[in-house]
Structure formats: C-alpha cells, structure tokens
A = this chain, B = another copy of it.
Amino acid sequence: MDMISTLLPAIEAELKKQVARLDEPRTRPFHEMLTYHMGWTGEGAGPEAAGKRIRPLMVLLCTSSCGAEWRSALPAAAAVELVHNFSLVHDDIEDNGDKRRGRTTVWKKWGLAQGTNAGDGLFILSNLALTDLEAGYPAPIVLRTAKILHQTCLDLTRGQFLDISYEDRADLTVDDYWPMVSGKTAALIAACCHLGALLGGADESRQEAYRAFGHYLGLAFQVQDDILGIWGDEALTGKSAVSDLVDGKKSLPVLFGLEKNGAFAKRWRQGPIRAEEVRALATLLEAESARTSAQDAARQMTDLALENLRVAHPQGEAGESIKSLADKLLQRGA
C-alpha cells in the first residue's frame, strides 16, 4: 500500500490548510477546537485521534484509478473528511457522547454552545474547501461536485433523523434499517467514490459504477461493524466498555432478532440490557440466526460492491490500493 503512504501526508496538509481559515488572533480558541477534534493538537493528539482518513483516501484513489492526477482533487478529499468530522461533532452532541476515539468530545470539553458552533464551522470549511477545486477544474465540474456533496449531506441528516427517531420505537423491522444506514454511512462513502471518478474524468456510467461501489462498500462495512458490535471480542469481553446491546443500538442483528419475535425480542422490549446479560443475549440472538442473517447481508453487499468495482474498472497502482482498502474494511473478523 505504498500509494496510500504518499497520499496520507498530502491529505493531512490539505486539511490543515483548509482549517487554517480560522487561524486568526481573535478566533484562535475556535481554531483550536477544530484542530483538537481533527486529532492534531491537545491531549491525546496523534494518528489514533485523527482516524484513518478512509474517505479522502477513497476520493484520491478513485481519481488516480481513472488515470488522472490526484493532486488537483485534494480540496475534494479535504471536503469529504471535513463533512465526516462535522457529522461526528454533531453526532456526539446528539448521542450525548463524551468520548470519541478515546478522547473527550468537543462539546464535553468546550460546552454545548461552542461544540454546536464548532460542528457548524467544520461543515462550512468543507463547503469552502470544495470551492478551491476551481484552481484545477472548470466551473461546471466544480458545481457538479458541490451538488453531489450537498445532496449527500442532506442524506446524512435524513439518516440521522431516522436514527434518532428510532430510539423510542419497538416496532422496527429490517426494512427500517437500510434507509437509515444508507444515509448515515453509505451516502458519504458513495460520494467519495463518485467525486473521485468525476474529478478523474470518468464518464457518467463509470461514475455511477464507482458511486455504487462506494454505496455497497459503505453498507457492507456498516453491517460488519454491527456484527462486531455484538459478537466482536471487545463487545463480548466488555474490555473496552461497550456492546451495542447495552447501548440499545438498532443494529441489523437486533432488527433481525426483533423481526423474529422470539425470546430475544421479548427480553429487548422489557427495557435496557445490562452488561452482565451481554454474553447470554448474544448467544440467544445467534441461536435465533440473527448472526448468519447479518453475515449473509454483509456478503451480499460486499458482492455488489465488488461487482460494481469490476465495472468501474479502476487502473494502475491506485486500482490495486482501492481493492486492498476495500478488503481491509470488509475483513475485520466477524
């Protein structure tokens, strides 16, 4: 994955440049909230805190795999990562989360008011980043990227709306799952691949194949994550705190279990699940075949992703990197 180690520092430099728009004497503490969240400053700063930058990598790899120069696409790469981080900052507020990647969340550290505003700031910086594409692309292409990203952001808020409104509902089915994760997870990864292909000069149908690859990759990734959230080592041993069962998360296996309407569903409807029940309930849910159903779904989504990737026909070293990045995302155990 040599190409990725070339891209990562370039992404980081572009992100810092974009966020530096707020680096002025009067707004220095505002700038600091963002550099803290991005993982560059403050307690616990470092690559762990920054996250993997999967989304901007995907933009640049897709551009490059269409045979184009990835450097001109850097502002778009920064834009998607800023959107992702804006959504994390606001999600932490909406979920009342006090830790993110092992560190205190922005709103916990600076208060709800500054936290909300910091999230807004990241979002606006993503919009501004996108306008920097003008240096390398004609205006109609830049506008097209803006439309794609804004539409994606609307999907994010739709997914978030569903997620929040599911909290109080006991009548959910598997059909309610896909629209939520399509918005919350898949939309942005789809946009990364779409933007990358567009900026790589791919024609409409190839752009669509890249987009669909990202969409199914995002869904497959989310389902894998849901499986690990219940049967992964950390979830079962409770070492690093959490099983999705304790959080009451409406993940795919849980929805399979609720649809089954057996012993698991009965217990779920009785109220919050305690940490000491986690092992037994995970076993129960598995016995009701929620695990295999979720694994089947993950496999289906993975197949669809790879099929679309074949159609997209990514080239060269970047093409290889996309495949290994996808593999890495999808083979996380389970």
Contact = CB atoms under 8 A, between A and B. Distances in A.
B131 A147 contact: yes
A157 interface: yes
A116 B164 CA distance: 11
Contact of A30 (B112, B119, B120, B158): B158
A150 B162 contact: no
A191 to B, nearest CB: 13
A164 B124 contact: no
A113 interface: yes
B121 A94 contact: no
Contacts of A131: 143, 146-147, 150
Interface string A148-162: 001101100110111
A121 to B, nearest CB: 4
A116 B93 contact: yes
Nearest to A141: B139
Contacts of A94: 112-113, 116-117
A155 to B, nearest CB: 9
Contact of A150 (B90, B113, B127, B154): B127
Choose among A120, A121, A128, A142 the residue with the greatest number of B CB atoms under 10 Å from its CB. A120
Interface stretch (A19-27, A40-48, A231-239, A281-289): A19-27
A204 interface: no
A50 to B, nearest CB: 22
23 contacts: A22-B158, A26-B158, A26-B162, A26-B179, A29-B161, A29-B165, A30-B157, A30-B158, A93-B113, A94-B112, A95-B113, A113-B164, A116-B116, A117-B157, A117-B160, A120-B160, A124-B153, A124-B157, A128-B150, A131-B143, A131-B146, A138-B139, A139-B139
A150 B125 CA distance: 8
A73 to B, nearest CB: 17
A185 B140 CA distance: 32
B150 A27 contact: no
A128 B151 contact: yes
